[in-house]
């Protein structure tokens, strides 16, 4: 990948990657950090990456980065809750009045892999084969996890009504 192709990739993909990261983690500064980390990694590896496959490469990197951040945040939350002596369940917020907030809350209750697949498929429009390549799951597993996630979302959002 040339420098011009790298710059083109940054201009073309940064908004899409940020949108995905923001939907995944819900915190703007974390989403920005994750996207920036992904582009730094791409720059470090730009000589090894083909320009034609950069989109999938970036999504895979971002997905892995977000999973790592999520795991790190869970560890930090557990440590803080042990220090304070409160349970993390006590931190749950009430369902908001607007559907957008309710959907974000429902997405946040899904297991991380299911949440990522819902975001990739329903919000970003990726096909099962593409998601399979990004996550390392088979296409059948992608379908099963999406089915379970949608079923859970339906139940969570029906409580909202």
8 A C-beta contact, residue 136 and residue 89: no
**Position with higher pLDDT, 97 vs 70:** 70
pLDDT in tens, 92-145: 333 334 566 677 777 888 888 888 888 888 877 888 888 888 888 899 999 999
Statement: 94-161 belongs to CATH 1.10.3720.10: no
8 A C-beta contact, residue 157 and residue 80: no
pLDDT in tens, 41-59: 989 888 888 888 888 888 8
In the chain, which residues fall in CATH 1.10.1740?
A: 1-92
Please tell me the pTM assigned to this model: 0.52
In the chain, which residues fall in CATH 1.10.10.10?
A: 94-161
Q: Which residues of 103-123 are buried (b: 16+ CB within 10 A; e: fewer)?
A: bebbbeebeebbbbbbbbbee
Statement: 1-92 belongs to CATH 1.10.1740: yes
């Amino acid at each position: 990948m040339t420098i011009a192709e790298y710059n083109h990739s940054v201009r073309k993909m940064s908004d899409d990657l940020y949108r995905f990261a923001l939907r995944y983690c819900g915190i703007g500064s974390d989403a920005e950090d994750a996207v920036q980390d992904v582009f730094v990694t791409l720059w470090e590896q730009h000589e090894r990456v083909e320009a034609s496959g950069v989109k999938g490469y970036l999504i895979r990197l971002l997905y892995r980065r977000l999973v790592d951040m999520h795991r790190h945040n869970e560890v930090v939350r557990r440590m803080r809750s042990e220090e304070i002596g409160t349970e993390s369940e006590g931190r749950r917020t009430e369902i908001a009045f607007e559907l957008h907030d309710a959907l974000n809350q429902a997405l946040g209750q899904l297991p991380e892999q299911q949440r990522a697949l819902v975001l990739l498929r329903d919000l970003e429009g990726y096909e099962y084969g593409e998601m399979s390549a990004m996550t390392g799951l088979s296409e059948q597993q992608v379908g099963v996890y999406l089915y379970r996630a949608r079923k859970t979302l339906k139940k969570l959002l029906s409580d909202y009504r």
